[in-house]
Each structure stands twice: as structure tokens, then as C-alpha cells.
Structure 1
């Protein structure tokens, strides 16, 4: 049997990769690897994926890349390729973050203090048995915060649900 194709990385655009990297380092506590500063930043959440019993596996958490929308690298041409601006209207990829020992309220407050827009709070999605909230960062990327519902989730009456 052949190996499956494996998702290894997700990149998001910014018109200021250094500021975007600082935002995510401050909001989530991730390490900011400058590759080089202002051109490409790799956000390293640290830790490993969990096994079904809750113990840490040997598989490291995925990293998130932040690239300069004016000249996305890598590209075989030094000038890159158009478009060179951020996509601010319409649908675009969303990034889902599984909340560990943190809280959605703390993350949303930290994001909003740094210029993010809160999209929603306190929603339960029964299809995937999870609690979620979301924000749009100052560069237009939508971040969905996810908490697992567990075996018998109790959905507070104040939550919306579907």
C-alpha cells in the first residue's frame, strides 16, 4: 500500500508578516520563527498531538506559516506572482485551533485587544460535538476556536447550537 498524501503545513497571507507573527505569539503563546523576519514567519505551537488515552504522541503539532502577500515565497521568479494584496471580501480558508488548557474567553479578549474582530462566541455544533467561537484577525484571516464536547456534552442555555 502506498503512503497517503499528508497535510504538513498551512500558510496565511499578511501585508505585515512580522506584526502578524507578534499577534499570534501574544494571543496563543506560540514561538515565532523568523525565516527571515518580515518575509516569512513560522508559528510553532509546541507540544505533540495526543493519543486517544490523553498521553502525548510522537507526532508534533502542525505549524502555521505567515507569508508576505506582496511576494509570496517560495516561487521560482524573484518577483513572485499576482495578486499581491490581501483578500478581504468573500469566503477564504479558515483556521481551526483546538483549545488546550486555555479558554475561549481569554483568547478572544487577547485577540480583540490586539485589533481582532469577534465573529461569534459560545456556539455548539452537534455534527462534530464541539463548542466554538471565532474571530477575524487584523489581516482578514478567520480563526475558529474549538473545544471538544466529550461523551455527554452539556450545552449551556446561553449558547447557540446546530
Structure 2
């Protein structure tokens, strides 16, 4: 079998990349790398993926981009192309974020709500992948799922929904 194609980046659409960059920096503690500011923002989580012993590997954590829906770059046409607005109906991409052991779902959701996010659900356990999850919609309509590993013999609180 040939080496698989590699996912290298995910971009979220925004009508205000500067504000979206500030949102994600505050909510997740990521570096907001404007390149250039207001046009494209690269969100840099920092550090590297952890090995099973807890030490960091040589593989850096994945980055995420935020682009301006009015003129998505790159594009061969410097003026951009249609559509130039955010999608407002139907499903969009869902972004899954593993919550660090150094952080908490409560802090993340609190920061997100304070900055205009809408909580879609909290306190759900998905047995198939053994994880606790919570979800919010950012002010630009993107769904962000927070994931916490269940571990061996997970203790599922009574107030959690299950599937």
C-alpha cells in the first residue's frame, strides 16, 4: 500500500478573522499568528504530541487556520470568488479538541460563552470511542467539540447522557 495522503491543516471561515483569532487565543490559550492580520490567522497550539509515557514526541501539535470568508486566500484571483459570506444554514465542519489535563471543560466553555459562543450540549459520554464530550458553536457558526478520554473503566456521572 502506498503512503497515505496527509491531512496538514484545517481552516475555519470567519467574517472577522482578527476577532476569531482573539477568540481562539482566549478560549484555548493558542498563539494567534496573524499572517497578515485580518486576512488569515494561524492558530498555533504549541508544544508537541505526547508519547504514551507523557513526554513530547518530535511531532508538533496540529495548527488551525481562520480565513476571511469575503476573500478566501489562497486563490489565483486576487479579488477572490463567490461566495463571500459565511454559510448560515445546514451543517459545517466540526472541530474536535482534546482537552488538556492542565485545563478544564468548565474554563473553556466559560471563556467561549463570555465571547459569544452558544453551548450546544454538555455532559455526554460516547461509549464507542470511550470519551466524554461537550460542544459549542463559535460566533461564526463553527461547531467545536471538546473531548476528554474516558480511560480504563470510566466512571460516568449520573447527569451525563450516553450513547
TM-score grouping bracket, smaller chain normalisation: over 0.9
Deviation sequence 1:92-133 (CA, Å, 0-9, x none) = 110000000211111001100011000011100001000000
State the Cα RMSD in Å. Answer: 0.9
TM-score (norm 1): 0.97
Corresponding position: 1:123 with 2:124: yes
What CA distance in whole angstroms lies between the structure 2 residues aligned with 1:28 and 1:50?
Answer: 18
Partner of 1:155: 156
Report runs of 4+ in structure 1 exceeding 6 Å deviation: none
Could you tell me how far 1:72 is from its partner in structure 2? Answer: 0.2
TM-score (norm 2): 0.97
Could you tell me how far 1:88 is from its partner in structure 2? Answer: 2.0
Partner of 2:143: 142
What CA distance in whole angstroms lies between the structure 2 residues aligned with 1:29 and 1:55?
Answer: 20
Alignment: residue pair count: 162
Could you tell me how far 1:44 is from its partner in structure 2? Answer: 0.2
What CA distance in whole angstroms lies between the structure 1 residues aligned with 2:12 and 2:2?
Answer: 30
Structure 1 gaps of 5+ residues are none
What CA distance in whole angstroms lies between the structure 1 residues aligned with 2:30 and 2:57?
Answer: 19
Structure 2 gaps of 5+ residues are none
What CA distance in whole angstroms lies between the structure 2 residues aligned with 1:130 and 1:55?
Answer: 22
Corresponding position: 1:112 with 2:116: no
Corresponding position: 1:36 with 2:36: yes
